[in-house]
Amino acid sequence: MATITAIKPQKNGKRLNIYLDGKFGFGLDLETFVKHQLKDEQELSETEIEKIVKEGEFQKVYDKVLLFGSLRPRSEAEFNRWLSKHKVHQSLHRELFNRLKRLELLDDNKFARWWVGQRMQFKSKSKKELEQELRLKGISKDIIEDVISEAQPNELEMAKRLIDKKSYVWEKMDDITARRKKTEYLLRRGYDWEIIRAIVRKIDAEDDNV
């Protein structure tokens, strides 16, 4: 059992925050609050809490989480963080996730493939950067390895694209300084020495032919 220890209005004036045993329990619309005649020091069982929360919160949360998921593909960890940030009651999580899966909005494999494709095309990300970003998105090691292996990123091509895009930064430097700066830049972007040496040699060869 849990005891209602405080009932506080939210800033919008249309909803209330219900505190259980001194901690935030859940938010509730006024209509559902009045319907269940909730009051201070009232005791609620887990079953009662789950029923009230589902009745008052589910559709509101579902609409918002759908908007969150429609802006761009999301990983399961991102949805979990969103639910935690917005203090969505645990009793709603499973049904929310089930609906998201039915709509194909919750699929870490699909998300990882989309993420890698976008970052390779528009940001020329190295394998190391892609791996790090996917880890931060909560993607499992196995999925990361499979997706990057499937994508087969051409790091030589992407590193060259990065250097070409920023060539104006180094154009007034002497050759030695420019080469060092380019090397440092690619290192920061996660490219390994083999790729960097190949790119620098390629650029030097192109400059010699100008």
Coil/strand/helix, residue 5 = strand
Strands (E) in the chain, as ranges, are 2-9, 15-20, 23-29, 43-44
Give the global pTM: 0.71
SS (H, E, C) 95-127: HHHHHHHHCCCCCHHHHHHHHHHHHHHHHCCCH
Q: What integer pLDDT is reported at residue 163 of this predicted model? A: 92
Read off the pLDDT of residues 35-58 as tens digits, 9 standing for 90 and up.
Answer: 899 999 999 999 999 889 888 878
Q: How far apart are CA 5 and CA 205, in angstroms?
A: 74
CATH architecture assignment, domain 2-106: Orthogonal Bundle (1.10)
| Region 172-197 average pLDDT | 92
Topology classification of domain 154-210: Arc Repressor Mutant, subunit A (1.10.10)
